[in-house]
Amino acid sequence: MTTASPKTRKATAAANGRPKEIVNDFSMTVATKNGSGSQTSNVTLLRAMFRMGIPVSGKNLFPSNIQGLPTWYTIRASKDGYTARRETHEVVVAMNGDTFVDDFRKVVPGGAFYYADDLKFAMDRKDIAIYPVPAKKLAKESGAPAALRDYVANMAYVGVVAQMMDIDMDKIRAALDFHFSGREKPIALNMGVIEAAAQFARETLTKNDPYVVRPMNKTGGLIMADGNTAAALGAIYGGVQFLSWYPITPASSLAEGVSAYISDLRDDPAKPEERTYAIVQAEDELAAAGMAVGAGWGGLRAMTSTSGPGISLMTEFTGLAYYAEVPIVIWDVQRMGPSTGLPTRTSQGDISMVHSLGHGDTENIILLPGSATECFEFGWKAFDIAERLQTPVFVLSDLDLGMNQWMTKPFEYPDVEMDRGKVLWEKDLDKWVHDKPWGRYLDVDKDGITYRTLPGNKHPRSAYFARGTGHDEYGRYTERGDDWERNMARLAKKFKTAVKFLPKPEVKRAKDAKVGILSFGSTDAAILEGRDRLLQGRRPLKTNYLRLRAIPFSREVRKFIEDNKYVYVVEMNRDGQLHQLLTVAYPDLAKKLISVAKNDGLPLSARFVDESIRGEEK
Amino acid sequence: MTETNGTTTAKGLNTVGLAKNDYRGAATTLCAGCGHNSIANQVIAMAYELNIVPEDMIKFSGIGCSSKSPTYFLSRSFGFNSLHGRMPSVATGALFADHTLKGLAVSGDGDTTNIGMGQFKHIMRRNVPMVYIIENNGVYGLTKGQFSATAEHGLKLKSQGVNEFMPVDVVMEALASHATFIARSFAGDAHQVKELIKAALSHNGIAVLDIISPCVTFNNEDDARHSYGWAKEHQEPLHDFTFVPMEEEITAEYQPGDTTTVTMHDGSKIVLKKTSRDYDPTDRYAAMRMVQETSEQNMLLTGLIYVETQRESLRDIYKLPKTHGLNRFTAKDLRPSKASIKKVNDMMF
Domain ranges of chain B: 13-239+278-328
For residue B206, the surrounding DSSP H or E stretch is strand B206-212
As a whole-number percent, the residues of chain B with pLDDT over 90 amount to 89
| pLDDT exceeds cutoff 50 at B1 | no
Q: Which amino acid is at A554?
A: S
Q: What is the pLDDT of residue B10?
A: 56
Cα–Cα distance between A382 and A380 in angstroms, integer? 6
* A417/B81 Cβ within 8 A: no
- Check residue A482 and give left, alpha or beta (phi > 0: left; psi -120 to 50: alpha): alpha
State the DSSP string of A377-402: HHHHHHHHHHHHHTSEEEEEEEHHHH
| pLDDT exceeds cutoff 70 at A213 | yes
Does the beta carbon of B70 lie under 8 angstroms from any beta carbon of chain A?
yes
Cα–Cα distance between A505 and A326 in angstroms, integer? 26
A517 three-class SS: strand
- Cβ pairs A/B, distance under 8 A: 223
B334 — phi, psi (to 5°)? Answer: -105, -25
* B83/A320 Cβ within 8 A: yes
Please state which CATH number belongs to domain A6-212: 3.40.920.10
Give residue-wise pLDDT tens across range A443-461.
Answer: 999 999 999 999 999 999 9
Query: What's the mean pLDDT in B51-58?
Result: 98
Does the beta carbon of B88 lie under 8 angstroms from any beta carbon of chain A?
yes
Instruction: Tell me the domain boundaries of chain A.
Output: 6-212, 225-408, 423-501, 506-617
Does the beta carbon of B12 lie under 8 angstroms from any beta carbon of chain A?
no
pLDDT band at B276; cut points 50, 70, 90: confident
Mutate to test the interface with B, among A297, A315, A373, A383 (most CBs of B within 10 A): A297
pLDDT band at A5; cut points 50, 70, 90: very low
B59 three-class SS: strand
ipTM of model: 0.96
From chain B, pick out residues whose CB is under 8 angstroms from the CB of A457.
55, 78
pLDDT band at B4; cut points 50, 70, 90: very low
* A297/B348 Cβ within 8 A: no
A154 three-class SS: helix
Q: What is the pLDDT of residue A617?
A: 82
CA Rg value for chain B: 21
Cα–Cα distance between B121 and B63 in angstroms, integer? 18
Give residue-wise pLDDT tens across range B127-179.
Answer: 999 999 999 999 999 999 999 999 999 999 988 999 999 999 999 999 999 99
| CATH 3.30.70.20 is the classification of domain B13-239+278-328 | no
Q: What is the pLDDT of residue A6?
A: 45
Q: What is the pLDDT of residue A9?
A: 45
Cα–Cα distance between B127 and B311 in angstroms, integer? 8
Please state which CATH number belongs to domain A225-408: 3.40.50.970
Please answer whether residues A477 and B71 qualify as being in contact, where contact means their C-beta atoms are separated by less than 8 angstroms: yes
| pLDDT exceeds cutoff 50 at B202 | yes
Query: What's the mean pLDDT in B201-225?
Result: 97
Sequence-separated (6 or more) residues with CB below 8 Å from residue A194: A155, A156, A158, A159, A162, A169, A172
Q: Kindly report the CATH class assigned to A506-617.
A: alpha beta
Closest alpha carbon within chain A to B121 = A283
Q: Which of A274, A290, A465 sits opposite B70 (nearest CB)?
A: A465
* A294/B80 Cβ within 8 A: yes
As a whole-number percent, the residues of chain A with pLDDT over 70 amount to 97
Q: What is the pLDDT of residue B292?
A: 95
Give residue-wise pLDDT tens across range B17-45.
Answer: 999 999 999 999 999 999 999 999 999 99
Q: What is the pLDDT of residue A87?
A: 95
Q: What is the pLDDT of residue B9?
A: 53
Query: What's the mean pLDDT in A430-439?
Result: 90
Q: What is the pLDDT of residue A272?
A: 83
Does the beta carbon of B57 lie under 8 angstroms from any beta carbon of chain A?
no
Q: Is A539 exposed, middle or buried (0-12, 13-18, 19+ CB in 10 A)?
A: exposed
Q: Which of A283, A410, A463 sits opposite B55 (nearest CB)?
A: A463
Closest alpha carbon within chain B to A461 = B76
| pLDDT exceeds cutoff 60 at A7 | no
Instruction: Count the helix, strand and coil residues of chain A and give each as a percent rounded to the nearest 5.
Output: 40, 20, 40
Give residue-wise pLDDT tens across range A274-322.
Answer: 899 999 999 999 999 999 999 999 999 999 999 999 999 999 999 999 9
* A455/B97 Cβ within 8 A: yes
Same fold, A6-212 and A506-617: no
Mutate to test the interface with A, among B24, B60, B344, B346 (most CBs of A within 10 A): B344
Cα–Cα distance between A367 and A372 in angstroms, integer? 14
| pLDDT exceeds cutoff 60 at A8 | no
Give residue-wise pLDDT tens across range A78-96.
Answer: 999 999 999 999 999 999 9
**Segments of A79-128 assigned E as strands:** 89-94, 107-116
